[in-house]
Amino acid sequence: MKKQLLTILSFGAFVVSNAQITITQADIAPIGFFMPRGIDTAFTETPIGPGGSNMVWDFSGIVDDRGDTITFVDPATLPGANEFPTSNLGIVISGQGYAFAESSASDLKMVGQGADFQGNPLLFKLNPAERIFQFPSTMGTAWSGTSVASSNAIPFPNPPVDSARITITTTKDASVDAWGSLTTPMGVYNVIRQKEIIHTQQDVEVYMVGPFPPAGWYPYAAGSTTDSSIKFTYIANGIGFPLMEIDSTSDGNVDVTWLITTPQVGLNEFSKVADTRVFPNPASDNLFIKLEKSTSVSVEIYDLQGKLVQQLETKGAVAQVNVSKLEKGLYVYKVTANDGSFATQGKFVVTR
């Protein structure tokens, strides 16, 4: 799961001003919100720029190569929740995995991560936990820390190797080094910028079943890696999530992630869930909803005000929906089998 995972500011109205802001625990969005994001994986458009006061950053030219959605959930609903009893916020990143977080008056930190690894659950316990933000945060706030993420043993059926486990040590030096005005494709906002210098060390151990070498855990040198990166996070009051994050790695790659729309309140899922997949997401012309079961279905598309904006009947394993005439933004699709055998819903983003 990508290290940048989180940071979350409360939902509400926002007025641009020319004064620096302060972020506190009160700015963390509650469970039930979801945030569609754009990702520019080949960022070259705008210099990141130095730190300082009353800065002006214009990132209106960033390009959405692919997107994802982050959803805040009750951590008790996530696989492996019993391993993280102190978590009070679950974060799910579409296509990547999920995290267990703790939000308090002093900071926001990650205590666990989870994902699917070749059909097997992969859980990381973070001890010490990984801090994401210190509260309150304003110009000049600085902190540092080291976290250690240790995974459970995962099957690795390649005799004499039986299983493997991973340890990731992360060291951070963070500071709020700038404040000013940020422009993204979503608008113009007054922000502070947190800069993090991050070093990671990954170590892998494998369990040998014996008889030679004797049964036990052994370092796997080929799995050991080190990495360094610099991360910039731009945060505004009253939005519900970081407006933009920039990850610059030692190999020269730069990824930019930003909010496409303001965070939205999620809708309750149907009680009966089918195995469905929607792609591409975000979409600009055609959206495809794949069902494992081929049957006649009704497809409905709703905007975030609950208005039905499109409806169609189709038969087969894939429903094609033309979304080219929809305004850009976030939508909800609902699929109902005409024979009543299943119903499901999900979210997608329309971009232009």
Q: What is the pLDDT of residues 160-186, one digit of tens each?
A: 999 999 999 999 999 999 999 999 988
Amino acid 266: pLDDT: 56
**Residue 336 is part of which domain span?**
276-350
CATH of the domain at 72: 2.40.360
Q: Please indicate, yes or no, if residue 5 is contained in any of the structural domains.
A: no
**337: part of which helix (H) or strand (E)?**
strand 329-337
Residue 61 sits in the same domain as residue 180: yes
Residue 69 sits in the same domain as residue 118: yes
Q: Please indicate, yes or no, if residue 29 is contained in any of the structural domains.
A: yes
Q: Please indicate, yes or no, if residue 289 is contained in any of the structural domains.
A: yes
Amino acid 18: pLDDT: 56
Q: What is the pLDDT of residues 240-253, one digit of tens each?
A: 789 999 998 777 77
Average pLDDT for the chain: 83
Amino acid 5: pLDDT: 37
pLDDT(112) > 50: yes
Could you tell me what percentage of the chain is helix, strand and coil, using 3-state DSSP and rounding each to the nearest 5?
A: 5, 60, 40
Residue 172 sits in the same domain as residue 230: yes
Q: Please indicate, yes or no, if residue 340 is contained in any of the structural domains.
A: yes
Q: Please indicate, yes or no, if residue 6 is contained in any of the structural domains.
A: no
Number of domains in the chain: 2
Residue 199 sits in the same domain as residue 259: yes
Residue 247 sits in the same domain as residue 324: no
Contact 200, 169 (CB under 8 A): yes
pLDDT(276) > 70: no
Contact 8, 30 (CB under 8 A): no
Contact 242, 234 (CB under 8 A): yes
Mean pLDDT of 186-194: 93
Number of helices and strands in the chain (H, E) = 0, 21
Phi first, then psi: what are they for 25, rounded to 5°? -60, -30
Q: Please indicate, yes or no, if residue 15 is contained in any of the structural domains.
A: no
Amino acid 352: pLDDT: 66
Residue 261 sits in the same domain as residue 332: no
CATH of the domain at 300: 2.60.40.2550
Contact 140, 176 (CB under 8 A): yes
Q: Give which of 127, 117, 130 is closest to 171, Cα–Cα.
A: 130
End residue of a domain, out of 220, 242, 265 = 265
End residue of a domain, out of 207, 232, 265 = 265
Q: Give which of 255, 148, 153, 245 is closest to 202, Cα–Cα.
A: 148
- The model's confidence at residue 279, banded by pLDDT at 50, 70 and 90, is confident
Q: Which long-range contacts (CB under 8 A, 24 or more apart) does 312-319 make?
A: 313/338, 317/290, 317/291, 317/292, 317/293, 318/288, 318/289, 318/290, 318/291, 319/288, 319/289, 319/291
Q: Please indicate, yes or no, if residue 19 is contained in any of the structural domains.
A: no
Residue 289 sits in the same domain as residue 337: yes
- The model's confidence at residue 274, banded by pLDDT at 50, 70 and 90, is very low
- The model's confidence at residue 305, banded by pLDDT at 50, 70 and 90, is low
Query: What does the block give as tokens for 152?
Result: 């459970």
Residue 281 sits in the same domain as residue 217: no
Residue 83 sits in the same domain as residue 194: yes
Does 347 or 88 have the greater pLDDT score? 88
Residue 225 sits in the same domain as residue 288: no
DSSP 265-315: EPPPPPSS---EEEESSSBSSEEEEEEEEEEEEEEEEE-TTS-EEEEEEEE
Looking at residue 329, the DSSP 8-state letter turns out to be E
Q: Which long-range contacts (CB under 8 A, 24 or more apart) does 101-105 make?
A: 101/6, 101/75, 101/132, 102/129, 103/25, 103/28, 104/25, 104/135, 105/24, 105/25, 105/135
Residue 340 sits in the same domain as residue 237: no
End residue of a domain, out of 265, 296, 315 = 265
Residue 283 sits in the same domain as residue 240: no
Q: Please indicate, yes or no, if residue 271 is contained in any of the structural domains.
A: no
